[in-house]
Structure 1
Amino acid sequence: MKSPNWLTAALTAIALTATPTAALAQEGEAEAPAVVLDNIVLGDVVLGDADAPITIVEYASVTCPHCAHFHESVMPVIEERVELGEVKFIFREFPTPPVQIAMAGFLIARCAGEDQYYPVLDTLFTGQDDMLQAARGGTVGEWLEGVAAGAGLSEPEFRACLADEELFNSMVATIEAGQDAGVRATPTVFMNGELLGNDAQSGAGMAALIDAALAAE
């Protein structure tokens, strides 16, 4: 069964509005941004102790294969260090094509609330292949509705979430602020304000970078 008309319309509206904003987001290695934002429009959802000595910020997209690889291979290391109180992690939305699907996923994560924000992102990253296959088959609306339901959103809440103009505009403003700061590719990862290179794209490399940062404290 293909997505109902209301959902197709919602995703189309997201695509038409979001595509110009996110047109510069590309997958792959990032160029050095000019600055890391201290404040963003939506506010950060922080994973870990706010007083942890190491802050890792990732700009990424749930439709980006490089980001899914980061989630699979590097996030377990980050989460382990979060549990140890060494790291706090912040994810910032930066959609890549298909932009309407990435934006819809991000909206669901925000609507689900802070307690469900990272679990929803986990579902989207681990299910990325299924999500994109559903998009090719015209059933991505149902797939996303299932993600929303798993996070505790009813169908009316899911509909309202995708139609939340204030939330959408706040997310667009946040993405534009990231672009203004020089973020161009996904994933772009910072540690304590410093742009990380390719070493951060493996679990072992990230662990070594964290250890070096801790030693420098």
Structure 2
Amino acid sequence: MAKPRDPAKTAPRTGPRHVAIIMDGNGRWAQKRGRPRLFGHHAGARRVREIVSSCPDFGVKYLTIFAFSTENWKRTQTEVAGLMSLFRRYIMKEMQEFVKENVRVRFIGDRPRLDAKLRGLMDEAEAMTEGCTGTNLTIALNYGGRDEVTRATQRLARDVAEGRLRPEDVDEETLPRYLDTYVLPDPDLVIRTSGEARISNFLLWQSAYAEYEFIDTLWPDFTAKIFGELLSGYGARDRRFGAVSA
């Protein structure tokens, strides 16, 4: 079997190369202002641009954001419909700017449940930015970590059943090649806003050695300054990956 990679060898020496963010708190931000939850989602979408634009200044090459989970379908029909409309408008509005800023856009998650127009816009955005070589922005849309691992395992099982892969050759290096994130490095830092201290089914496999920051700031109030402060704190951490300090 292939030898599992040593995460310490792929980790950045100072700041994180790949940051993942659970963008939480849009609804509470709106409710504090006496506005509907969708008002907060629109404010949160505008905040994404600032954070993406700041990534080159901070040395962040990969940014993955959690936009809509497989569990979010449980929300009211009004909120879900509003979010889907927001995603369509956001993609149409922002893609030209991302091309100008040299941002490569990818989407992860289970696409078939999304409507055809949204899926088409996602495909178009990925195609438009395919040649961009700056920040890699990955948007998790209808994404759940358990769902991702389930789908990956199904694909792996089909390859075994059809003789393309031997069962004895399956190791912990094999499954990641079937995940939605197969072209991305694992996240070094995962940030969750809004004061909640849970990972909410986000990048479960990929975050095995990630550092976490749980902060009270609601996502629409999350600025590039706050982002930079968290990244600076990351550089001071002692990341041992199961070993002991020298």
Shorter chain as denominator, the TM-score bin is 0.3 to 0.5
Q: Which has the larger radius of gyration?
A: 2
Which structure has more RCO (C-alpha within 8 Å, separation ≥ 6)?
1
How high is the TM-score relative to the length of structure 2?
0.30
